[in-house]
């Protein structure tokens, strides 16, 4: 029989979708299961695999979520038992269940039946999966359709196209930043709050023509930088909620309610509004640290002034995220950036560096060193509240993340800034910076694209690496091969 590690959870989910079972399903405890609706497949990075399923288990009909794991023990090893996103699970399905356990337990203590899939699926199906896995391992080809034939395209054609896509990607980032700048200026001018529904600004906004004078207020640029930095710290899984947090906790509110240098109050504000701090007042004192209690005390003083949106723990993703990238750690890094924006003139300092430093290597190192944030205090030894980590945390924001912030935030932000105020020489300097910047890290997309196209020597050159990402996301992953300059050649 196939081992749990040899079949992916995606394949198990497909088996559930097809419902090709050899006999009537039964839970481990012996209750018959009738599937009234398989539920909606959850394609996000966290939460149960299927939402809003309808099942008859025994004589009762249940509506809720379904989680499918390779092995029964994954329920705990993946942390579902302590994740409130899984509180609505009505059935746990696993391929194997070595010790014949009958139930799993959710974070809120509810007992949920479990079902072992291998009892209800034909052996031939697993044999087929084994064959596919074996072929895949023997012929581990890349995920680009022209992988085996792209070498027929001249190197210069590939380089020119990928470079152009790198510039397009940079331009898109600049356009997005400028659009948000206009939104902030419009809201500020009319003294409006952020609209609750995205893109629900007044129709007059679309007609308004902006001039550089509309953007002279430094607070617009500070809020913009703050939002962009927080969003970038969220990575794929938490970028949306990090952006929402920055828009909920305006810099104006921070300035009015936090005394300069009161880091405890600032941390209290962010962790309470984010919903990540536990309800310490309802827990026994021996289970709560002095730090958590101090944040709760601070919030009693600050919270009365806050009437904006508040979030909950379930809004955040922890599953399949490395502890050093947990939202708690990234928020702490973001808090240090808030202090730098408000009290250390971060934007002005970077502008001055760009004006005065002509050696790009020195300029890059100088900006990067500002963005690297060493850990401190309580969060040197904690990834989450009231649970000491095994290893000391050295950085809130490390070298690699600082590099990504330079590429994705700093360069397009200051391109927009210099273009807005007509500083053409500095705009050219930004583009030169972008063209020659060498990034030290790669990712799965850039590795695969560079291997497929024979551009491995350009992998760490930012403009090409960004172009590879643009190529994959807008052409390869969408099968837009005949719109791609490379695809036009190899497929015709």
Residues 412 and 170: beta-carbon distance below 8 Å: yes
Render the burial of 221-250: b for 16+ CB within 10 Å, e for the rest: bbbbbbbbbbbbbbbebbeebbbbbbbbbb
State which residues of the chain have pLDDT below 70: 1-8, 45, 123-143, 192-202, 282-287, 492
Radius of gyration of the chain from its Cα atoms, rounded to whole angstroms: 26
Contacts of 287 (CB under 8 A, 6+ apart): 386
**pLDDT at 99 (0 to 100):** 86
* Burial of 26 from C-beta contacts in 10 A (0-12 / 13-18 / 19+): middle
**pLDDT at 147 (0 to 100):** 80
The DSSP code for 13 is H
**pLDDT at 236 (0 to 100):** 84
Beta bridge partners of 89: 65
**pLDDT at 74 (0 to 100):** 87
**Token pair belonging to 194:** 């952020």
Residues 455 and 472: beta-carbon distance below 8 Å: no
**pLDDT at 45 (0 to 100):** 61
Compute how many other C-beta atoms are within 10 angstroms of the C-beta atom of residue 350.
20
**pLDDT at 299 (0 to 100):** 95
Distance CA 374, CA 405 (A): 16
**pLDDT at 11 (0 to 100):** 74
**pLDDT at 136 (0 to 100):** 41
| DSSP 3-state of 56 | strand
Distance CA 341, CA 348 (A): 9
**pLDDT at 287 (0 to 100):** 64
**pLDDT at 431 (0 to 100):** 96
């Amino acid at each position: 029989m196939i081992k749990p590690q040899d079949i992916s959870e995606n394949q198990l989910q497909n088996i559930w979708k097809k419902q090709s079972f050899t006999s009537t399903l039964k839970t481990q405890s012996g209750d018959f299961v009738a599937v009234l609706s398989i539920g909606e497949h959850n394609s996000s990075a966290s939460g149960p695999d299927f939402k809003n399923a309808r099942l008859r288990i025994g004589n009762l009909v249940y509506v809720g979520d379904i989680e499918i794991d390779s092995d029964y023990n994954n329920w705990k090893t993946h942390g579902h038992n302590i994740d409130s996103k899984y509180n609505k699970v009505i059935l746990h399905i696993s391929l194997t269940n070595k010790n014949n356990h009958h139930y799993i337990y959710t974070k809120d203590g509810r007992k949920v039946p479990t079902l072992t899939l291998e009892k209800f699926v034909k052996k031939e199906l697993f044999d087929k999966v084994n064959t596919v896995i074996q072929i895949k391992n023997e012929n581990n080809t890349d995920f680009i359709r022209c992988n085996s034939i792209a070498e027929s395209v001249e190197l210069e054609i590939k380089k020119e196209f990928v470079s152009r896509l790198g510039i397009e990607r940079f331009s898109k980032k600049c356009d997005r930043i400028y659009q948000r700048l206009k939104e902030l200026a419009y809201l500020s001018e009319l003294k409006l709050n952020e609209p609750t529904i995205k893109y629900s600004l007044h129709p007059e906004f679309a007609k308004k023509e902006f001039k550089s004078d509309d953007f002279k207020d430094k607070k617009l640029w500070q809020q913009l930088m703050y939002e962009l930095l927080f969003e970038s710290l969220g990575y794929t899984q938490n970028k949306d909620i990090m952006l929402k947090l920055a828009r909920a906790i305006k810099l104006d509110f921070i300035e009015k309610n936090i005394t300069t240098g009161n880091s405890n109050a600032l941390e209290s504000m962010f962790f309470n509004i984010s919903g990540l701090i536990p309800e310490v007042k309802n827990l026994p004192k021996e289970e709560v640290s002095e730090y958590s209690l101090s944040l709760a005390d601070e919030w009693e003083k600050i919270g009365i002034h806050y009437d904006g949106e508040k979030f909950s723990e379930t809004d955040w993703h922890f599953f399949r995220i490395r502890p050093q990238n947990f939202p708690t750690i990234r928020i702490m890094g973001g808090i240090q950036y808030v202090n730098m924006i408000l009290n250390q003139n971060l934007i002005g300092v970077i502008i001055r560096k760009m004006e005065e430093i002509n050696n790009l290597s020195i300029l890059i190192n100088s900006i990067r060193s500002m963005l690297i944030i060493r850990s401190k205090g309580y969060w040197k030894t904690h990834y989450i509240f009231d649970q000491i980590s095994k290893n000391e945390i050295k950085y809130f924001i490390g070298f690699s993340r600082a590099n990504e912030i330079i590429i994705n935030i700093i360069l397009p932000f200051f391109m927009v800034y210099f273009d807005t105020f007509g500083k053409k020489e500095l705009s050219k300097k930004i583009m030169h910076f972008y063209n020659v910047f060498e990034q030290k890290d790669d990712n799965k997309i850039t590795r695969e694209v560079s291997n497929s196209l024979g551009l491995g020597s350009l992998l760490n050159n930012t403009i090409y690496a960004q172009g590879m990402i643009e190529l994959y996301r807008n052409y390869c992953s969408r099968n837009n091969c005949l719109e791609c300059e490379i695809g036009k050649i190899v497929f015709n």
